[in-house]
Amino acid sequence: MTFTELENIRPAARAGQSRQLQALDNCLECPVRSISVCSVLDRCELAQFAGIGRAATYRPRDILFMEGFPVDAVYNITKGLARLYRLLPSGHRQIVGFAFPGDFIGLPPGEHYGFSADAAVATTACRFPLDTFAAFVESRQDLLRRIHDSATRDLERARDQMVQLGPRRADAKIAAFLLGMRRRRSPVHESSVLISLPMGRQDIGDYLGLSIATVSRTLHRLERAGLILVVPNGVRVLDRQRLERLAAA
Amino acid sequence: MTFTELENIRPAARAGQSRQLQALDNCLECPVRSISVCSVLDRCELAQFAGIGRAATYRPRDILFMEGFPVDAVYNITKGLARLYRLLPSGHRQIVGFAFPGDFIGLPPGEHYGFSADAAVATTACRFPLDTFAAFVESRQDLLRRIHDSATRDLERARDQMVQLGPRRADAKIAAFLLGMRRRRSPVHESSVLISLPMGRQDIGDYLGLSIATVSRTLHRLERAGLILVVPNGVRVLDRQRLERLAAA
DNA sequence: CGCTAGTTTGATCCGGGTCAATGCTGGTGG
DNA sequence: CCACCAGCATTGACCCGGATCAAACTAGCG
């Protein structure tokens, strides 16, 4: 819960530097293109667009950007998982969202980032400097619209999360979280019984407003009750019916 | 907390019908024009825009629209206060935001409203049927941009609220809520010591994830501690310093 | 002047936080 | 190949803040 290990942040990462940069060359083969904002660009535009971005790779805990700093770039996650969070003076960390491959982040209302973002696991992202990005987008009405759609969906998700953060019981929060993660990862509404959880327990807790101990205990309780099976980096759903009923409560 | 008085909703309001409608005639004198999305429209465009909207008035508890229903109109609040909320099967109501005069609501990512909205007090709003509204916006790049800005700000506020909903102490939540309400109502960052609270205790509780009893008790405790003075429909700030320190914690 | 809806206040209880010890696992070097 | 270590996860013991239930109070308002 408390996240006072700010000193642990790698010095090289503090300034929002990525570990490694390389040109974007094979956007056409990009696995997330179809679900990303760039899907509206044609072959020609895509080449231009690729020219202004760089692929950046991040190791766990590497920082993409920090709350309060001037917005200097926007990001499109292509692999891995980014945690979006706010740090409170008390030392608490509230995770305000996860960015999965295909998600677009980093365009707040003002001049400064409204939250921090770091890599939860090994992660890669297309990084676009704000000035060139803004210039490129300026004329592309459809791209602008796509970005707006992304923001609107983020808003909807934010409201979902508000409901989760409210005064609900821990088991209901966890159940809803699991189902939410599954829905998020698979466009097809009905999908595998295996839900992958790339993030750690601490992340889940800071997302739901629970302590790490309660997350662990609750998962275990759900397992004992036969709703799920806890496996490394995820859970297997055994009783979807009951899990959904619990999540709704 | 529980909000099981669904039956209390006035039948006429259930379908999202407003109480009273009249043409928009004096947009130029509209007190919220300068802060609304319509501020980018010139005199001529404004006249056109006014033509497609109607002023609707709502009494407390009257419903603007309901979650899950097809989006048939968007709204611009001009007076009063709207509660934006989700109802859970358990009967809990999570207020996901308040809409003050000048706020624009009702454009979710999909075809259906993602939350319900009703009037917390006597309220008026400009109501624009979705089809004509969409057609009008289509060509107005700047209006579209303004709407996008509105969504981005909503998103930022939603994240603020997530932080409030997290595992914070009741007094910190209340303090932050009071300061947030003050900042929201007065563009000038420094302002009066009088914070108006048009909404009821229940609304505050459902917004912060607290019971009505705790809201009441906490306000009283802050009063005893000399931070505020509770007055009808609001509070008076006595010790801003300490209130801010408490809100930050 | 009583009615109703909202608010305050009290008494009790419990879910989940906190703290701390223990367990697990994957990486590292002897 | 194994012993060790660091980081994360689990589990236990205890406690407290806020939920819940219920009663008293207040203020509009017909």
pLDDT tens for each residue of chain B, 249 residues long: 444 443 344 433 444 444 577 878 789 889 999 999 999 999 999 999 999 999 999 999 999 999 999 999 999 999 999 999 999 999 999 999 999 999 999 999 999 999 999 999 999 999 999 999 999 998 888 899 999 999 999 999 999 999 999 999 999 999 999 999 999 987 655 567 899 999 999 999 999 999 999 999 999 999 999 999 999 999 999 999 999 999 998
pLDDT, mean of residues A11-17: 42
Which residues of chain A are within 8 Å of residue B89 when distances are taken between CB atoms?
248-249
Distance CA B146, CA B137 (A): 11
- Distance from the B18 Cα atom to the nearest Cα atom in chain A, whole angstroms: 25
Facing B156 at nearest CB: one of A114, A156, A211? A114
* Cα dist from B182 to A239, B108, B194, B228, B239, whole Å: 47, 27, 8, 13, 14
Size of interface A-B (CB pairs under 8 A): 108
Distance CA B177, CA B171 (A): 10
- Distance from the B156 Cα atom to the nearest Cα atom in chain A, whole angstroms: 7
Distance CA B94, CA B92 (A): 7
pTM above 0.85, yes or no: yes
Which residues of chain B are within 8 Å of residue A249 when distances are taken between CB atoms?
88-90
Distance CA A99, CA A112 (A): 19
3-class DSSP state for residue B3? coil
The structure tokens listed for B84 are 């934006």
Chain B's closest residue to A89, CA to CA, is B249
Strand residue runs (E) in A19-166: 20-23, 54-58, 63-65, 73-79, 82-87, 93-99, 104-105, 116-119, 123-129
Chain A's closest residue to B91, CA to CA, is A249
Which candidate, A72, A86, A81, places its Cα nearest to that of A17? A72
Interatomic distance A102 CA / C27 C1' (Å) = 32
Which candidate, B48, B120, B38, places its Cα nearest to that of B84? B120
A159/B89 CB distance under 8 A: no
Interatomic distance A153 CA / D26 C1' (Å) = 45
Which nucleotide C1' is nearest A173 CA? C16
What's the distance, CA B123 to chain centroid? 11
In this predicted structure, the answer to whether residue A204 has a pLDDT above a threshold of 90 is: yes
